[in-house]
Each structure stands twice: as C-alpha cells, then as structure tokens.
Amino acid sequence: MKIICVGRNYAAHIEELQSMKPKEPILFLKPETSIIHKSQPFFIPHFSSNIDYEVEVLIRINRIGKHIQPKFAYKYYQEISLGIDFTARTLQNKLKENGLPWEKAKAFDGSALIGEWISKSEYKDLNDLNFSLELNGTEVQKGNTSNMLWKINDLISYISTYFTLKIGDIIFTGTPQGVGSIKENDVILGYLEGKQAFSIKIK
C-alpha cells in the first residue's frame, strides 16, 4: 500500500506559500509508516518544532489500474475521507531552496492522518464537497473540491500514468488555503460536508 499526495492543487494555497503554479500535478509519496494509528495522537518529531497542518480530501483505490482514462476513473474508488498531511515546513523550505526532494519534511513517521472512510454514494457531487479544519475550536481551513486545479478523476488518471494503482492505495488530493502551525496540546477536528471525519490531539 502506498500514499500518493498531490501538491499545489488549490490556487489560494499556492499564493499563500508564494509558490509557482504548476503546469501539471505535483506528486510525492508517503510510506505506510507515515500513517497515524487509530486513536493515537500526533507526536511532534524531534527534528522540527515547525509543523503545519494541511487538511485534504482522500480517495481509497479499490481495484488495480494503470493508464486509466479520466472517464473510467470513477470505477477505481468507492470511498472517500478527510485527512491531514503534516508538514515540517522549515525543513521543507530548506529542501526546496536546495532543489532537493521533500520526503524528509512530508513523509516522516506519523505524518499522515486518515479519517473515517465514507461511501462516495452518500454525496451528490464529489466535485462540490465542502470540508474544513478546526484548531482548538476555531475554523482555520475551509475548502471545496470545486476549487481543485485538477479534479479527482483527472488526478487518478494522471497518477496512474506513472504509478500502477493497487487496492488500498490512498490519494491525498491537495490542501486549500489556511495552513498553519501546531503546538503541543492542540486539538484538531476535520469536517466533511458538516460531519466530523476525524479528531486528533497534538503531543
């Protein structure tokens, strides 16, 4: 099982980080060891005190696929969720400045929070999903999948050009604006169409 993450998929988030708008999706991977186990907190890693939250809609692949056409991509997943791509921001910026890969800042142990999986049939339009993140009771991120630069089916098609998608693979589809830092004892809640998808405490 692998986690494929999409970077810079919301224009407002690109602007807030003062990054370049990509001409095609930016992809990076997280290993299985990045997944936070159920009911476990997020532990701030010893190598960085500057960790950002990034809330994202998730897709779980349910069949093997390669070179998937966008019009058939809907057949390759039945469930969606909400999660967090925890990012060691200072470290990431240093790596970017030196033209180096991001994995140390994005794929470290415990850097991927995965919420409860929900059947996609519960939603009328996956390209018009509202989602949000609360930090200590205050909403800090709010997004809608209609604002994605590349929509879900297009992402599945693009990703399958480079990586064979296998059963259980998870796609993080990108984060909207509003990312920010966490500190010890913070409590984070994620909502997908008004329903809580996850809750996690920071240690």
In CATH, what number is assigned to the domain containing residue 38? 3.90.850.10
Number of domains in the chain: 1
Tell whether pTM > 0.75: yes
Contact 176, 12 (CB under 8 A): yes
Which segments of the chain have a pLDDT < 70?
none
Residue 79: give the domain boundaries: 3-201
DSSP annotation of 34: G
Whole-number Cα distances in Å, 52 to 74, 87, 140, 154:
31, 5, 12, 27
| Rounded Cα–Cα distance for residues 183 and 169 (Å) | 30
Looking at residue 15, its pLDDT comes to: 77
pLDDT in the model for residue 21: 82
Residues 6+ apart with CB under 8 A from 170: 1, 2, 3, 4, 58, 59, 60, 61, 114
Cα gap 163→96, rounded to integer Å: 23
Give the model's pLDDT for residue 1.
Answer: 94
Rounded-to-integer distance, Cα 58 and Cα 117, Å: 9
- Look at residues 56, 82, 80, 68 and name the one whose alpha carbon lies nearest to residue 153: 68
